[in-house]
Amino acid sequence: MRFWTVHALPAPVLAAPVLAAPVLAAPVLAASELGTVPAPTARWLLSRRRRRPSVVPHGGLALVPESVPLLALLLPLLWLLWHRCWLAALLFLIATVAVLLLPLGPLAGWVTAGLHLLTGLSAQDIRRWSLARHGRPAIAVVEGADEESAMFRLLTQRPDLARAVA
């Protein structure tokens, strides 16, 4: 069992009522009118591009595990960029370049390895900080074997958050 930190949008955003659009009957087109439908424009296609599902997999909720990701230990810059921790990635890049430019000689490799280790061990904390900085504070901590069971446990304990998932 692992612990998961739950980050959500602020309460007024989650509690906003969802207004349903009225259901209108679609006009029936004759076979001769089917060819007259205009092709989608480039702007329409760009507005319909898919977001990466791991950004917000559960609507307004984001679950961050209490674990050390192996990829963050090996490739911290790529991990930070994948999880959209832009400021942390920039700081990591500046620190790495500074270490490589300093005349440390054989110690440069050890210092770089230490920087990778430090960033990898605190990667999920950096991710939580980044989410909080973007207006998604931590609202709960739940326990679950995987993300799905943690989400199920969260929604049984806090049914008011079900609207954010739907």
Residues 82-93 have a mean pLDDT of: 95
Domain assignment present for 39: no
Domain assignment present for 126: yes
Domain assignment present for 34: no
The number of domains in the chain is 1
DSSP annotation of 133 reads H
Of 144 and 48, the one with more pLDDT: 144
| pLDDT value of position 130 | 92
**Cα separation values, 81 from 84, 123, 154, Å:** 5, 11, 28
Which range marks the domain in which residue 138 is found? Answer: 2-14+44-165
Domain assignment present for 37: no
Of 156 and 38, the one with more pLDDT: 156
- pLDDT of 20 over the 70 cut: no
Name the residue among 63, 87, 66, 30 with its Cα closest to residue 148.
63
